[in-house]
Amino acid sequence: MKSARATQSVPLRERLATLRHLKRLFAQVWRTSPLLMLSSIVLRLLRAVQPLLVLYIGKLIIDEIVLQSGQAAPAGGFQEWLSGGRLTPLIELLALEFALVVAADLLARAVSAIDGILGELHSNQVSMELMQHAAGLDLKHFESSDYQDRLERARRQAAGRNAMLSQVFGQGQAIITVLTLAAGLLVYAPWLILLLLVSLIPSVVNEAKFNTRSYLISRFRSPERRQLEYLRYIGASAETAKEIKLFGLGPFLVERFRQLADTIIEENKRLAIARAAWGGVFAALSTATYYGAYAYIVWRTVAGEFTLGELTFLSGAFLRLHGLFEELLIGVTQIAGQSLYLDDLFSFFDIRPGIVRPSDPKPFPRPIRQGIAFEGVGFRYPDTDRWVVRNLSFTLRAGETLALVGENGAGKTTIVKLITRLYDPDEGRILIDGIDLRDIDVDELRANIGVIFQDFIRYSFTAGENIGIGRIESGTDRARIEHAAEQGLAAEVISRLPLGYEQPLGKLFANGRDLSGGEWQKVAIARAYMRQAELLILDEPTASLDAKSEAEVFERFKELTEGKTAILISHRFSTVRIADRILVLADGRILEAGTHEELVALAGTYAELFELQAAGYR
């Protein structure tokens, strides 16, 4: 089905406004390599004047040939012609033309090599800047489908705008060549330049129209393209292979991919056919104009108004100008169209995080002496009206282990996100030792909090690196890594690997060794201990562990958090009962609070849930 959005047009003012991104593109390329960029510009300047010089030398050669052929030939053969000096001007002109042609080839190869290297470096530069910028944005951006579409478009442009760089430089080179050729043509037939411009206007308008339509299809099909990438991933991934085979999902996924791909291909096919048809019509019109002008030049030569050398020069200059004008004018429309894609890239860079470093940050309290206090905290996720937590007030005392329990959606993980400033509350405030979290540098805050979520990342790095990234600045400290592995019970897992801490994990790369879910979880827990943080948060940390391993993890957790501040989230009441205090949450509110024994004695929600879970083990 044809997308209605993709048939809309982009207003001329908006298209022209996107040209401002060219300045940012040049700045980005300059940051990549000033030397290579400057070299490319200088070499293109030299190439720009070469066509005029070659044409003019060609004119002089033909005129010299006509001159010599009109004079009496000297007696003897080639040697007499050479010794008499009759061939000297011609030889010098041929040598000069040869040198110009060789130089042009060398310059073209040098420019191509430089542009290739610069393009690769620029692509890497943009990718690094993209990752760096994305890392500094708020979590809310990553949980928004609109943001995901923008990110997808930016990723595609990160590696796809290198051709535009060469195109812009090529346009500058073409402009200089046009000016030099036009200056020569003006001497003989100035009105031909105007005729060229008029004949090319339809082609330019046509190209601009189809460039815009192509961009709109690309832009408004971003959600479908993301779905295609998702289907590619789950249809051919080691992580999904078992379920795909067991459920027989292969044909279903292939068919869904085909339907989505066919929709996009159909739009692009219609556009390509229309573009080729109209382009052919306007190209024929432009060619007819050229040959009309060429016939006029030939007639004036026959009439004796131009020499054969001037005929060669004019026909060559006009032919080159015809091609260059078309390249230049259509190139301008293409650059204007490409700048729309640049807008996808740079508008992403213009997204600014809302959670930023305060102008006068206060230090994180080390150690925590009072605790963390929620005072009337309310929070809604962006673009929703539902309050996840509202009027939430409680205190996590220093050195206390606090467990949060409740059904899914009760607000447990949201509380963790607020403490770590992945989000800021919409109402109320969160204090640590009396300091508002918003007054602490966000990087320092997170550096002092160790968090392990249930959906932790399984990095395709070595075992040591998987733990070391828990405190990246100490990621090469083997003693600290091994100590964290001991604390998280991952040391035994790693000892069984052929390469130990140097063993690549996962199946993504060569020599990788995959782990079981429980083994991965122990590595992730060790990663949290690597942080040696003031506050430790475990969000469903033992979901993939068997009962024995879970008991070992929490026995160790209790030992290691003795005297430290910790938050524990779990659905297993055998786990949460080790906490000093338990908060029972429902709909973002605290229903009950107390120790395990106190809550069981209360015979409320906690006691009911505990009894239901305990009955399952009887």
Q: DSSP states of 430-478 as a string? A: EEETTEEGGGB-HHHHHHTEEEE-TT----SSBHHHHHHGGGGGGTT-H
Residues 48 and 179: their CA atoms lie apart, in Å, by: 10
Residues 6 or more apart whose CB falls under 8 angstroms from that of 289 comprise: 195, 196, 199
- pLDDT tier at 7 (50, 70, 90 boundaries)? very low
> What is the CATH code of the structural domain delimited by 27-349?
1.20.1560.10
Fold match, 368-448+535-618 / 456-532? yes
Q: How confident is the model at residue 236 (pLDDT cuts 50, 70, 90)?
A: low
Which pLDDT value is given to residue 481?
A: 93
CATH of 456-532, one of 1.10.1200.10, 3.40.50.11710, 3.40.50.300, 3.40.50.970: 3.40.50.300
Q: Does 179 score more than 80 pLDDT?
A: no
Q: Which of 404, 408, 407, 428 is nearest to 416 (CA)?
A: 404
136, pLDDT greater than 70 = yes
pLDDT given at position 193: 67
42 by Cβ neighbours in 10 Å (0-12 / 13-18 / 19+) ranks as exposed
- pLDDT greater at residue 473 or residue 324: 473
Instruction: Spell out the alpha helix ranges (H) of 189-307.
Output: 191-220, 222-235, 241-247, 250-302
Question: What mean pLDDT is predicted for residues 31-40?
Answer: 89
d(CA 482, CA 290): 77
Does an H or E element contain 315, and which? helix 308-349
DSSP 8-state code for residue 136: T
Residue 607 structure tokens: 């006691």
Asked if the model's pLDDT at residue 14 lies above 50, the reply is: yes
Q: pLDDT (tens digit, 9 = 90+) per residue, 249-269?
A: 777 778 888 888 887 777 778
In angstroms, the Cα distances linking 326 to 184, 205, 221, 425 are: 19, 12, 31, 58
Across 418-430, average pLDDT = 93
Can you give the pLDDT at residue 197?
Answer: 65
Which one is predicted more confidently, 44 or 242? 44
pLDDT, tens only, 402-416: 999 988 888 898 999
| Amino acid 6: pLDDT | 45
Q: Is the pLDDT of residue 239 over 70?
A: no
What average pLDDT does the chain have?
80
pLDDT at 9: 52
Instruction: Tell me the percentage of the chain whose pLDDT exceeds 90.
Output: 20
- Phi, psi of 322, deg, nearest 5: -60, -50
Q: What share of the chain is helix, strand, coil (3-state, %, to 5)?
A: 65, 10, 25
Q: Helices 222-235 and 250-302 meet at what angle, rounded to 10?
A: 130
pLDDT tens-digit series, residues 501-554 = 999 998 877 788 888 888 888 898 888 888 888 898 888 766 666 767 777 777
Task: Name the nearest CA neighbour of 393 among 223, 237, 536, 583.
Answer: 583
Residue 191: what residue type? W
565-604 pLDDT, tens digit each? 999 888 777 778 888 999 999 988 999 999 999 999 999 8
β-bridge mates for residue 411, sequence order: none
CATH level 3 topology of 368-448+535-618 = Rossmann fold (3.40.50)
Read off the pLDDT of residues 299-357 as tens digits, 9 standing for 90 and up: 777 777 777 777 777 777 777 777 777 677 666 666 666 666 677 778 888 888 888 88
Q: Comparing C-alpha atoms, which of 10, 22, 15 is closest to residue 333?
A: 15
Q: Where do runs of H (alpha helix) occur along 426-546?
A: 442-447, 463-468, 478-487, 491-495, 517-530
* pLDDT digit string, tens, across residues 366-405: 889 999 999 999 999 888 888 999 999 999 999 999 999 9
Residue 211's identity, in one-letter code, is N
Secondary structure class of 435 (helix, strand, coil): strand
**Domain-by-domain residue ranges, the chain?**
27-349, 368-448+535-618, 456-532
Tell me what pLDDT residue 434 has: 93
Tokens of 449: 């909090």
